[in-house]
A = this chain, B = another copy of it.
């Protein structure tokens, strides 16, 4: 039997085929995400992988259902595997907002799902690092979140030669739209057209814009002016004060597809232009009110960073670290009459926190040594008597003989 199309199996290294997904690489990415978030004072949360369908349609309209991994459960509920984390976060925050001091800084690493028909070979799930700040309307929160985004990618060893954050503003676009005489009812359509400018035939975009009372020249002039609003200038100043100014620039081509953004929006791009956006985020000040049915009204902002594009970028740049097992010790059993004493030694080492292996069954010494080397064990330990051990450093090849009771301490060095 096979796994379902679009779902990944994650194998430990060494992965079986070149295109297998590596659990070790996933761990490297997740550990980095967690580490950076916690250094920034963000706290981890998680929600269910399934929610009521309405949680998503409420926010994004019924059209979104085409892209959802939705179904009817055994209790006849319309439900969906989560396509994004923000609605769950908004639901959780709205339910218990009073319990936490504002601003709330939270992160999560959910697996997200989608089901588009006729998308052969495309993945139906990915993992996403989500970081959000809730309860702070000031741009200082946007700057803090963008700094986290930049440092997360830097912790994965990406540099300002590899990526840049393109910063834009829904508010700037709204001003442009209103000043140009746009009608409020057309706002979302206008954003959609701008979002597609890079990918669509300019003639098509031009026709669509004309219907809303704009010319493509007008729009391109605004993009090329790149004139930062006061808010965007302040955000960039804040990022510069942290010494991260090389990682960000104004780019009004960014507008973000989702309807719910209200303020600064941004994406992080691969500077070599080979991959899709690595991260996207922005401010969504009205979403919690919407999801809570008006009960809770808190400004909020967040970003999402997926594991699939990120893994591709890291591979492309040679930034995948050495992965695979690294044992501290391998206990060789050369004399089977010492097996029980050796098991006691194995237990002693493991209890001391050392990753330790041994042969489950009788095996030739050269086979045991090979296994020790394959699993990158630093130490090879062999009992000569029930109370005396030979300890060999497999890197330096140095060997000493010491009492059994001293082995764990000797291996801590």
Say if the beta carbon of A308 comes within 8 Å of chain B: no
Question: Is the Cβ of A41 less than 8 Å from the Cβ of B9?
Answer: no
> What residues on B are CB-neighbors of A125 within 8 Å?
48
Question: Is the Cβ of B360 less than 8 Å from the Cβ of A141?
Answer: yes
**Which of A140, A344, A375 has the most C-beta atoms of chain B within 10 angstroms of its own C-beta?**
A140
Least distance between A74 CB and chain B CB atoms (Å): 5
Say if the beta carbon of A411 comes within 8 Å of chain B: no
> What residues on B are CB-neighbors of A2 within 8 Å?
91, 95
Q: Which residue of B lies closest to A133 (CB)?
A: B360
Of the candidates B14, B27, B360, which one forms a contact with A99 in the assembled complex, judged by CB atoms under 8 Å apart? B14
Least distance between A160 CB and chain B CB atoms (Å): 15
Of the candidates B20, B75, B91, B353, which one forms a contact with A39 in the assembled complex, judged by CB atoms under 8 Å apart? B353
Say if the beta carbon of A354 comes within 8 Å of chain B: yes
Copies in the complex: 2
Say if the beta carbon of A371 comes within 8 Å of chain B: yes
> What residues on B are CB-neighbors of A47 within 8 Å?
3, 7, 9-10
Least distance between A94 CB and chain B CB atoms (Å): 8
Question: Is the Cβ of B360 less than 8 Å from the Cβ of A103?
Answer: yes
Say if the beta carbon of A347 comes within 8 Å of chain B: yes
> What residues on B are CB-neighbors of A353 within 8 Å?
39
The stretch that binds B, out of A237-245, A259-267, A396-404, is A237-245
Interface size class of A (residues with CB under 8 A): 35 or more
Given contacts A99-B16, A241-B343, A243-B344, contact A92 B54 (CB under 8 A): no
> What residues on B are CB-neighbors of A185 within 8 Å?
none
Least distance between A33 CB and chain B CB atoms (Å): 14
A144 and B345 CA atoms in complex are apart in Å by 14
A212 and B353 CA atoms in complex are apart in Å by 51
> What residues on B are CB-neighbors of A357 within 8 Å?
41
Of the candidates B72, B325, B340, which one forms a contact with A241 in the assembled complex, judged by CB atoms under 8 Å apart? B340
A350 and B325 CA atoms in complex are apart in Å by 29
Say if the beta carbon of A291 comes within 8 Å of chain B: yes
Given contacts A241-B340, A355-B41, A361-B138, contact A48 B4 (CB under 8 A): yes
A96 and B14 CA atoms in complex are apart in Å by 11
A34-77: which residues lie under 8 A (CB-CB) from chain B?
Answer: 38-41, 43-52, 54-55, 58, 69-75, 77
Of the candidates B27, B100, B115, B347, which one forms a contact with A242 in the assembled complex, judged by CB atoms under 8 Å apart? B347
Say if the beta carbon of A187 comes within 8 Å of chain B: no
A92-147: which residues lie under 8 A (CB-CB) from chain B?
Answer: 92, 95-96, 99-101, 103, 106, 111, 115, 117, 125, 136, 138, 140-141, 144, 147
Question: Is the Cβ of A10 less than 8 Å from the Cβ of B46?
Answer: yes
Of the candidates B39, B45, B144, B327, which one forms a contact with A12 in the assembled complex, judged by CB atoms under 8 Å apart? B45
Question: Is the Cβ of A242 less than 8 Å from the Cβ of B16?
Answer: no
Question: Is the Cβ of A41 less than 8 Å from the Cβ of B73?
Answer: no
Task: Apart from A3-B48, A140-B360, A151-B351, list 10 A-B contacts with CB within 8 A.
Answer: A7-B48, A9-B45, A11-B96, A16-B99, A39-B350, A40-B350, A41-B375, A49-B111, A74-B115, A147-B347
Show 19 A/B contacts (Cβ-Cβ < 8 Å), sorted by A: A1-B52, A2-B95, A4-B79, A7-B47, A11-B45, A23-B45, A23-B46, A41-B325, A41-B356, A49-B111, A70-B74, A71-B72, A73-B115, A75-B115, A75-B117, A141-B360, A238-B340, A242-B343, A242-B346
